[in-house]
Amino acid sequence: MNLEQQDKQYVLQTYARNYTNFVKGVGSTLYNENGKDYIDFASGIGVNSVGHGNEKLAGAICEQAKNIIHISNLQVIEPQVKLAQKIVELSGYDMGIFFANSGAEANEGAIKIARKYGETKFDTKRYKVITLEHSFHGRTITTVKATGQESFHTPHFSPYPDGFSYEKSIEDVYKAIDEETVAVLIELVQGEGGVQPFEKEEIQKLAAHLKEEGILLIVDEVQTGVYRTGEFLASNLYEIEPDIITLAKGLGGGVPIGAVMTKHKEVLSAGDHGSTFGGNYLSTAAGLAVLDVLKPMYDDGLIDETLLYFSAKLKEIVNKYGNLFEKEVGLGLMRGLRAKSAEIQGSIIQKSMTEGLVVLKAGRNTVRFLPSITITKNEIDEGFKRFEKVLNTL
């Protein structure tokens, strides 16, 4: 029985898998069991922020595993405290942090904070959360309901929790606010929804309005956080101060970790929320190592250099292949090419694997690029060389 047959027999088939068997990675290059190399423009859907086989990250994980992998949150966990401090300092916001295991869990924590805030801070209960069309906030029952894509709201998993609605645009949010609204939950760049950034001015205007109304602004930075858009947080780039921010993906460099941070530190008290694995020794040691790699790169301007170089390559592609693409979208190293049809998008993604290149799909016919923050110019050049080979077959 080969690997594909084993997978189909023993693993629940919730993914439309590609059956390339990767056995090793170095930087932004992956290798299958036959030694064929692939340039990785996906980084595990924005997770492998420092690439594959990073020595500092691997060393930190190995060293921590030799000592303690996990105790419980009933005891203080030194690397958890240090990581919380590091994130707060890098963010520039005065916040407290709760650690979880994923982006969906971080968003669940954010919603719980908002719900308790709405219960305790107003004369009458507020519980409604407004999100946006094309948003994506997770796969749990609650975060699926918060996701602004009807295709996720199938009757198979209903009934869903109430108190969630989504609007077509930022302008529609103002009209949707009522006396039971407690929070607005947004991504500053919609990832799964087509790598679509919002305009800085409209976000700043919304943030100011919500502050005036006493309504919480929750920013889902599961994909945009940890230098993905060039700054530590996209919120920094947009020059806003949210009430709650969620992180995951790139924070652990591949080790599962999520975080919800809030300036309303007093809202949750002992027993209100918890996680068995969240913020354990292994995941937070990994998070510290990731930030130890990326912060010096940011300080030296290397992250800016990389994202400008990658962006220039995408602009070349759009100019050269206007028959296939409408435009380039995204920010930083969270980028996309909007294909002129779903058929073109699908063909590109499939043929890229054949040419030794890993890219992703996103909504609105977008071919998505989420390379590691540490990707080299040589790897970018080779990746786009292979990408052009694909485009020339269409």
CA distances from 59 to 54, 255, 279, 290, 344 (A): 8, 13, 19, 11, 42
**What fold does the segment set 56-299 form as a domain?**
Aspartate Aminotransferase; domain 2 (3.40.640)
Residue ranges matching CATH 3.90.1150.10 in the chain: 23-53+301-376
- What pLDDT, on the 0 to 100 scale, is given for residue 198? 96
Rounded-to-integer distance, Cα 124 and Cα 135, Å: 29
Q: Which CATH superfamily is domain 23-53+301-376 in?
A: Aspartate Aminotransferase, domain 1 (3.90.1150.10)
Q: Mean pLDDT, to the nearest integer, of 74-99?
A: 98
Q: Dihedral of CA 49/245/275/90: which sign?
A: positive
DSSP 8-state class, residue 161:
P
Q: Mean pLDDT, to the nearest integer, of 63-81?
A: 98
Residue ranges matching CATH 3.40.640.10 in the chain: 56-299
- pLDDT over threshold 90, residue 364: no
Q: Mean pLDDT, to the nearest integer, of 271-296?
A: 97
- The values of phi and psi at residue 285, to 5°, are -65, -40
Residue 287 is encoded by which pair of tokens? Answer: 């998070």
pLDDT band per the 50, 70, 90 thresholds, residue 23: very high
- What pLDDT, on the 0 to 100 scale, is given for residue 243? 98
Is the pTM higher than 0.85? The answer reads yes
